[in-house]
A and B are shown apart, each in its own frame.
Chain A
Amino acid sequence: LAKTTQPISMDSYEGQEVNITCSHNNIATNDYITWYQQFPSQGPRFIIQGYKTKVTNEVASLFIPADRKSSTLSLPRVSLSDTAVYYCLVGVLHYKLSFGAGTTVTVRA
């Protein structure tokens, strides 16, 4: 299983862009990179998934360099409601995905 490393916490202010980088040095050829968001006392919610280069949806962008050993989740113009824990997962089999401790993002006014 590809191990991931991401910062424990990050602080930001409303309107700023937040970038969370996840390291996954031993990512396998078939592995996808997936990000989830979790609010307190709720289940995680899928945000975005990518394999290489850049993926963008209405919520976030995911940047993956050519070597795929890291990825960066970008949240544009965050608001207070973006305060949550963000998980980086690497894998291809759903039941092999590992939710680590994640990154706690705190957005302040």
Chain B
Amino acid sequence: DGGITQSPKYLFRKEGQNVTLSCEQNLNHDAMYWYRQDPGQGLRLIYYSQIVNDFQKGDIAEGYSVSREKKESFPLTVTSAQKNPTAFYLCASSIDPGLSSYNEQFFGPGTRLTVL
């Protein structure tokens, strides 16, 4: 089955620790995205990548870092510099935005991060 997987589903960390969230897709999509969702709110874009070895900051990139060494993988690191990291994190992918105006993003199941 094609899709996006995120792991772990739940993650707990202590203040001051960095933590990496995994995101893998086998849809052969060029573009990948990381969003953050807080309770009762919409999604906010953290980082996006349109192609391997390239990524761009979204609206709330401070305190986060990413890498895109492989087409299939786009891990997100939540660093200790992120002041309020407790949230629901969603990864998504889509075909190359430059090739199509079709705005379908495929989302993973999400990772719920709690800072203790």
Partner-B contacts on A (CB < 8 A): 30, 32, 34, 41-46, 49, 87, 89, 91-95, 97-102
Residue B27 at the chain A interface, CB threshold 8 Å: no
Residue B8 at the chain A interface, CB threshold 8 Å: no
A-side interface mostly: loop
Q: Given A41-B88, A42-B110, is A94 in contact with B97 using a C-beta cutoff of 8 Å?
A: yes
Q: In the assembly, what is the distance between CA of A94 and CA of B48, in Å?
A: 10
From the candidates B4, B45, B106, name the one contacting A95 in the complex (CB within 8 A). B45
Q: In the assembly, what is the distance between CA of A5 and CA of B42, in Å?
A: 13
28 pairs of residues in contact across A and B, judged by CB atoms under 8 Å: A32-B101, A32-B102, A34-B104, A41-B88, A42-B107, A43-B4, A43-B90, A43-B109, A43-B110, A44-B105, A46-B104, A46-B105, A46-B106, A49-B104, A91-B103, A94-B94, A95-B31, A95-B33, A95-B48, A95-B50, A95-B97, A97-B105, A98-B42, A99-B35, A99-B43, A99-B44, A100-B42, A101-B42
- Are A94 and B42 neighbours in the complex by a CB distance under 8 Å? no
Residue B108 at the chain A interface, CB threshold 8 Å: yes
Q: A34-B103, A95-B48, A95-B58 are in contact. List 8 more A-B contacts (CB 8 A).
A: A34-B104, A41-B88, A41-B110, A42-B110, A43-B90, A91-B103, A94-B105, A95-B56
Name B43's closest neighbour in chain A (CB-CB).
A99
Q: In the assembly, what is the distance between CA of A30 and CA of B100, in Å?
A: 12
B-side interface mostly: strand
Q: In the assembly, what is the distance between CA of A30 and CA of B97, in Å?
A: 14
Q: In the assembly, what is the distance between CA of A92 and CA of B99, in Å?
A: 11
Q: In the assembly, what is the distance between CA of A34 and CA of B92, in Å?
A: 16
From the candidates A43, A94, A101, name the one contacting B107 in the complex (CB within 8 A). A43
Nearest-Cβ distance from residue A103 to partner chain B, whole angstroms? 11
Name A100's closest neighbour in chain B (CB-CB).
B42
Mask, B29-54, CB within 8 Å of A = 1, is 00101010000111111001010000
Residues of chain B within 8 A (CB-CB) of A42 are: 107, 109-110
Name A91's closest neighbour in chain B (CB-CB).
B103
